[in-house]
């Protein structure tokens, strides 16, 4: 089944993690067109991902909202291994999906191999990622779209674009990941509680 899914471009979270590790070990990344910088980002994101797997603690309210899901859903995430935001949020989304694996099927699609789909989910005209597309399989319609990052993190980016204040992209990234570290996944959990309660 996993081989069939991969041939269609879909990864389960588990198969994506295995592929992620292979990219790191082979000094590569998920995009066909690579660079030394993207390879380094991929290594760093692997470390971030593994750290989160060990430290994520989902709130009781989020667990309850996930358990209450009535319909069946497919969650598809467009991303790339070198995306820093993805390393911060994808493990959290995967943990949420695991809470009700019977009702939520989570799949990963590589953005750069699926640009036609990505074009339907732009953020301020950009192919920002990760982007989660939640489809209600029971009703046969889109349930919600989330991403590419929690609202406060998106505001940080928007503000920096409007007024960089002398900060380079590297400087901004440090600020962004400092925000993620201080937030400890609380904002994304709150956002998903609201989404799931609206679904139910």
pLDDT 10s digits, 8-58: 689 999 999 999 999 999 999 999 888 999 999 999 999 999 999 999 999
Q: Do 74 and 109 meet the contact criterion of CB atoms below 8 Å apart?
A: no
- The Cα–Cα gap between 101 and 107 comes to 12
pLDDT digits (tens, 9 = 90+) for 135-167: 999 999 999 999 999 999 999 999 999 999 899
pLDDT of residue 5: 54
CATH of the domain at 68: 3.40.30.10
The whole domain housing 116 covers 2-199
pLDDT digits (tens, 9 = 90+) for 59-91: 999 999 999 999 999 999 999 999 999 999 999
Given a cut of 50, whether residue 194 has pLDDT beyond it is yes
Q: Do 25 and 35 meet the contact criterion of CB atoms below 8 Å apart?
A: no
Q: Do 55 and 68 meet the contact criterion of CB atoms below 8 Å apart?
A: no
- Confidence class of residue 109 from pLDDT cuts 50, 70 and 90? very high
Q: What's the mean pLDDT in 177-181?
A: 97
Q: Do 59 and 189 meet the contact criterion of CB atoms below 8 Å apart?
A: yes
pLDDT of residue 164: 92
- Total of domains in the chain: 1
Residue (of 167, 198, 196) closest to 65 by Cα position:
196
Determine the 3-state secondary structure of 28 from DSSP: coil
Mean pLDDT score across all residues of the chain: 94
Given a cut of 50, whether residue 1 has pLDDT beyond it is no
- The Cα–Cα gap between 92 and 73 comes to 17
Q: Do 145 and 132 meet the contact criterion of CB atoms below 8 Å apart?
A: yes
Proportion of the chain above pLDDT 90, given as a percent? 92
Radius of gyration over every alpha carbon of the chain, rounded to an integer in angstroms:
17
pLDDT of residue 9: 85
DSSP 8-class letter at 126: B
- The Cα–Cα gap between 103 and 199 comes to 12
Q: What's the mean pLDDT in 102-111?
A: 97
pLDDT of residue 132: 98
Strands 104-110 and 10-11: antiparallel
* SS3 sequence of 22-80: HHHHCCCCCCCCCCHHHHHHHHHHHHHHHHHHHHCCCCHHHHHHHHCCCCCEEEEEEEC
The number of helices, as runs of H, and strands, as runs of E, in the chain is 9, 5
pLDDT of residue 64: 96
Residue (of 20, 15, 18, 21) closest to 2 by Cα position:
15
Proportion of the chain above pLDDT 70, given as a percent? 96
H or E element in which residue 143 lies: strand 141-146
pLDDT of residue 121: 96
Given a cut of 80, whether residue 176 has pLDDT beyond it is yes
pLDDT of residue 3: 52
């Amino acid at each position: 089944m996993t081989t069939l899914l991969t041939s269609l471009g879909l990864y389960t979270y588990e198969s994506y993690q295995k592929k992620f590790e292979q990219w790191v070990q082979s000094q590569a990344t998920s995009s066909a067109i690579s660079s030394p910088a993207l390879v380094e980002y991929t290594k760093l994101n692997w470390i971030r991902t593994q750290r989160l797997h060990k430290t994520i603690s989902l709130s009781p309210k989020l667990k309850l909202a996930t358990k209450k899901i009535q319909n069946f859903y497919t969650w598809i995430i467009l991303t790339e291994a070198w995306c820093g935001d993805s390393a911060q949020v994808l493990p959290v989304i995967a943990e949420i999906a695991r809470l009700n694996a019977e009702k939520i099927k989570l799949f990963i699609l590589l953005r750069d191999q699926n640009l036609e789909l990505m074009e339907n989910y732009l953020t301020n005209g950009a192919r920002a990622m990760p982007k989660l597309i939640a489809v209600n399989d029971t009703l046969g319609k889109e349930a919600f779209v989330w991403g590419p990052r929690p609202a406060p993190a998106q505001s940080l980016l928007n503000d920096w674009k409007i007024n960089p204040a002398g900060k380079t992209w590297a400087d901004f990234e440090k600020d962004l990941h400092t925000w993620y570290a201080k937030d400890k996944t609380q904002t994304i959990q709150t956002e998903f509680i609201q989404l799931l309660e609206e679904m139910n």
